[in-house]
């Protein structure tokens, strides 16, 4: 694709203004307490955002305290608070930000005819007076003031220019163009940003704030950057009011992946922290991430189609436009299903230590295809069963969980004791951990003698009610071998222990198979 010259001569950094803790939290059902806000803020600082909009201090006493705690604690990003144009609001915002290393006050007022008539009950002249008053007061408090004409994309152009010019004259250093209701179309929004930059005099940074009602928030943000915007307002995972905001991870990786379209522009985001940040925000907000979410979704680097799998196994770049590790994800995830090919099937077996060739592989693959038509996705256990059925390979005897005892609480260090048996021999171990599940897994590691890293842990409820069954699925990695295990129990600690032990047994079976194959090859090579 031929690069189109950028419309603005300015080069350099694109400022990332994160509003996950303000606009993101306004998504229905999200209510973060001050501690959760602080935890997310700390991760956003590690991620490297330039501005962190901590909240809307006047909204409630709890919101005020959360903003103040972030301002007092977080180092690195400029801490920003949102304020209406009322003087009391601006003063309250400044009070919340008083202890920040660097602070910004973000002042806003609605400017569209619909908002002025039905919400503000104000005339155009009254809105202009509010802008001059509110921005002027903010500028008395701090040297970094942002102004937003809410619902800008439905505001008559000439009035918006008048409002923006008044904000600059009153002391605004950043002018934000908010597509508050997601009304913008990329080429039109880009033209709007370029027009503002050209027609409003003054020394300021122009910013975008795009909502996703038409699914165009990221596209509109990028169009704004090409038109001269040098700040982009975003939320982690694209959360926010209604359909959400422009997604931080999408904007950042679009700029990083397509430098031909954004020459000389870059962000200061530590992209390897993107996946971790996404998971944290998802966990604390309760908003699950859709599997096909760009950049950070579970399927972002997963491949099921046989053609795609073959290409990725040969060379990652055939079907992946960015390095998974660059965003904190796992690369080249091969998902076996009915669209998978023989090559991916064979590779997946080898990762489990199952080496089959020739007619045996053909028979196992045929059986796999037959089952895959009836089951969406096959697990490691399914693959083992297929090979066992078709090839007749004997499985290595595994460990059995004989006893599990755990101790914990708010005032005691979590501790676990396990007894496992194998081939009639019992082994016991005791361990401490960060929690009872961690202690149980550590004890199993000691009792079995298998050194492995826990790479994935997922717990869900099989049934409803207080007596629900806990279903735990884990994945371990040991010396290049990966194996998953599943455990079910009314006690989630026991379910986790059983899942961990099941994964240990699969690793041991995989090692045994790999050793048998090596021994066979040595015998065949002996003259």
Give the span between the Cα atoms of 354 and 382, in whole angstroms: 13
The predicted pLDDT at position 393 comes to 45
Pair 444, 422: CB distance under 8 Å? no
Percent of the chain with pLDDT over 90: 59
pLDDT tens, residue by residue, 210-269 = 999 999 999 999 999 999 999 999 999 999 999 999 999 999 999 999 999 999 999 999
Among 50, 48, 49, 67, which Cα is nearest to 58's?
67
Among 288, 286, 153, residue whose Cα is nearest residue 211: 153
CB 173 within 8 A of CB 200: no
The H or E element that residue 375 is part of is none
- Whole-number pLDDT of residue 386: 66
- Quick check: is 429 in a domain? yes
Q: Is this prediction's pTM over 0.85?
A: no
Q: Which domain holds residue 131?
A: 12-285
Q: CATH no. for residue 480? A: 3.30.160.270
Distance (Å, whole) CA 169 – CA 251? 31
| Integer Cα distance of 487 and 483 in angstroms | 14
Pick from 89, 52, 90: nearest CA to 233: 52
Three-state SS for 240?
coil
Residue 6, phi then psi, degrees to nearest 5 = -65, 150
The pair of structure tokens assigned to 474 is 């884990």
Is residue 359 located within the same domain as residue 411? no
Which residue do the tokens 């809307």 mark? 56
| Total structural domains within the chain | 3
Residue 12 has pLDDT above 70, yes or no: no
* Residues forming beta bridges with residue 176, ordered by sequence position: 207
In 74-123, alpha helices (H) = 87-96, 113-115
Give 191-213 pLDDT, tens digit per residue.
999 999 999 999 999 999 999 99
CA distance 425 to 454: 26
Mean pLDDT over 456-462 rounds to: 77
281 & 306 share domain: no
Q: Are residue 176 and residue 234 in the same domain, yes or no?
A: yes
Burial category of 203 from C-beta neighbours within 10 Å (exposed 0-12, middle 13-18, buried 19 and up)? exposed
> Region 131-144: what's the mean pLDDT?
98
Which is it for strands 103-110 and 145-150: parallel, antiparallel or unpaired?
parallel
Q: How far apart are CA 147 and CA 106, in angstroms?
A: 6
With respect to residue 291, please indicate whether it lies within any of the assigned structural domains: no
Instruction: Show Cβ contacts of residue 464 under 8 Å, excluding neighbours closer than 6 positions.
Output: none
252 occurs within a structural domain: yes
Residue in 109, 111, 119, 105 with CA at minimum distance from that of residue 57: 105
| Last-in-domain residue among 359, 391, 423 | 391
Q: Is the domain of 457 the same as that of 327?
A: no
Statement: residue 287 has pLDDT above 70: yes
Min mean pLDDT across 150-159, 370-379, 397-406 is at: 370-379
Share of the chain above pLDDT 70, in %: 82
- In Å, what is the CA distance from 144 to each residue of 137, 297, 304? 12, 35, 49
Q: Mean of the pLDDT values across residues 479-497?
A: 83
**In a shared domain, residues 387 and 407:** no
Same domain, 325 and 357: yes
Q: Give dist(CA 492, CA 460) in Å, integer.
A: 9
pLDDT value, residue 455: 86
Give the per-residue pLDDT at 394.
44
Looking at the structure, tell me whether residues 117 and 260 fall in a common domain: yes
Task: Assign 7 a pLDDT band (cuts: 50, 70, 90).
Answer: very low
| pLDDT of 185 above 80 | yes
pLDDT of res. 163: 98
**61 and 30, same structural domain?**
yes
According to the model, what pLDDT value does residue 475 have? 85
**Domain match, 382 and 256 both:** no
CB-based contact 444:496 (threshold 8 Å): no
- pLDDT at site 66: 95
Asked if residue 339 has pLDDT above 80, the reply is no
Beta strand spans in 88-215 (E): 103-110, 145-150, 174-179, 205-210
Cβ atoms of residues 505 and 488 within 8 Å: no
Token pair for 489: 């129990």
Distance (Å, whole) CA 53 – CA 19: 5
What pairing do the DSSP bridges indicate for beta strands 470-478 and 481-489?
antiparallel
Q: Which residues pair with 488 in a beta bridge?
A: 471
What average pLDDT is seen over the chain? 85
Asked whether 436 and 456 are in contact (CB, 8 A), the reply is: no
In a 13 Å sphere around the CA of 101, the CA atoms on its Cβ side amount to 10
How does DSSP classify residue 212? -
User: Looking up tokens 């550590």, which residue turns up?
Assistant: 442
Looking up residue 325, the CATH number of its domain turns out to be: 1.10.238
Domain boundary pick from 343, 366, 391: 391
pLDDT at residue 277 in the model:
95
Q: pLDDT-derived band of residue 90, with 50, 70 and 90 as boundaries?
A: very high
Mean pLDDT of the region 505-509: 84
Residue 520 confidence (pLDDT):
38
The 10s digit of each residue's pLDDT in 418-429 is 999 998 899 999
């Amino acid at each position: 694709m031929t690069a189109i010259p950028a419309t603005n001569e300015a080069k350099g950094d694109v400022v990332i203004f994160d509003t996950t803790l303000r606009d993101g939290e306004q998504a229905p059902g999200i209510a973060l307490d001050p501690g959760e806000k602080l935890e997310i803020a700390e991760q956003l600082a590690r991620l490297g955002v330039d501005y962190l909009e901590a909240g809307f201090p006047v909204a409630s006493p709890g919101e005020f305290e959360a903003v103040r705690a972030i301002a007092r604690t977080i180092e690195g990003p400029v801490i920003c608070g949102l304020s209406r144009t009322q003087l009391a609001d601006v003063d309250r915002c400044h009070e919340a930000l008083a202890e920040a290393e660097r602070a910004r006050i973000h002042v806003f007022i609605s400017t569209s005819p619909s908002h002025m008539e039905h919400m503000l009950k104000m005339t155009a002249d009254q809105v202009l007076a509010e802008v001059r008053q509110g921005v002027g007061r903010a500028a008395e408090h701090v040297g970094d003031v942002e102004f937003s004409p809410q619902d800008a994309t439905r505001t008559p152009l000439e009035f918006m220019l008048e409002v923006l010019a008044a904000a600059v004259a009153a002391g605004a250093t950043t002018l934000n163009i908010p597509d508050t209701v997601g009304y913008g179309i990329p080429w039109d929004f880009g033209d709007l940003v370029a027009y503002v930059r050209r027609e409003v005099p003054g020394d300021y940074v122009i910013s975008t704030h795009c909502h996703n009602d038409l699914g165009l928030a990221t596209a509109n943000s990028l169009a704004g950057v090409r038109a001269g915007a040098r700040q982009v307002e975003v939320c982690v995972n694209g959360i926010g009011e209604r359909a959400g905001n422009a997604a931080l991870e999408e904007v950042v990786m679009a700029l990083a992946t397509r430098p031909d379209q954004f020459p000389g522009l870059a962000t200061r985001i530590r992209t390897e922290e993107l996946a971790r940040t996404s998971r944290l925000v998802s966990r604390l907000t309760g908003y699950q991430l859709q599997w096909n979410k760009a950049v950070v979704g579970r399927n972002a680097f997963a491949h099921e189609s046989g053609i795609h799998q073959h290409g990725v196994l040969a060379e990652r770049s055939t079907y992946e436009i960015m390095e998974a590790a660059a965003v904190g994800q796992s690369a080249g995830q091969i998902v076996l299903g009915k669209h998978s090919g023989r090559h991916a099937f064979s590779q997946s077996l080898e990762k489990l230590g199952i080496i089959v060739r020739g007619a045996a592989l053909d028979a196992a693959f045929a059986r796999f295809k037959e089952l895959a038509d009836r089951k969406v996705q096959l697990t490691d256990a399914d693959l083992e069963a297929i090979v066992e059925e078709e090839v007749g390979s004997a499985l290595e005897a595994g460990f059995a969980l004989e006893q599990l005892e755990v101790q914990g609480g708010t005032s005691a260090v979590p501790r676990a004791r396990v007894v496992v048996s194998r081939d009639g021999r019992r082994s016991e171990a005791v361990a401490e951990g960060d929690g009872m599940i961690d202690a149980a897994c550590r004890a199993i590691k000691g009792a079995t003698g298998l050194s492995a890293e826990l790479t994935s842990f997922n717990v869900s409820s099989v049934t409803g009610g207080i007596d629900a069954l806990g279903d735990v699925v884990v994945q371990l990695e040991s010396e290049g071998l990966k194996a998953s295990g599943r455990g079910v129990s009314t006690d989630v600690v026991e379910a986790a222990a059983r899942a961990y032990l099941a994964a240990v047994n699969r690793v041991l079976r995989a090692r045994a198979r790999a050793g048998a194959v090596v021994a066979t090859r040595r015998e065949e090579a002996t003259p």
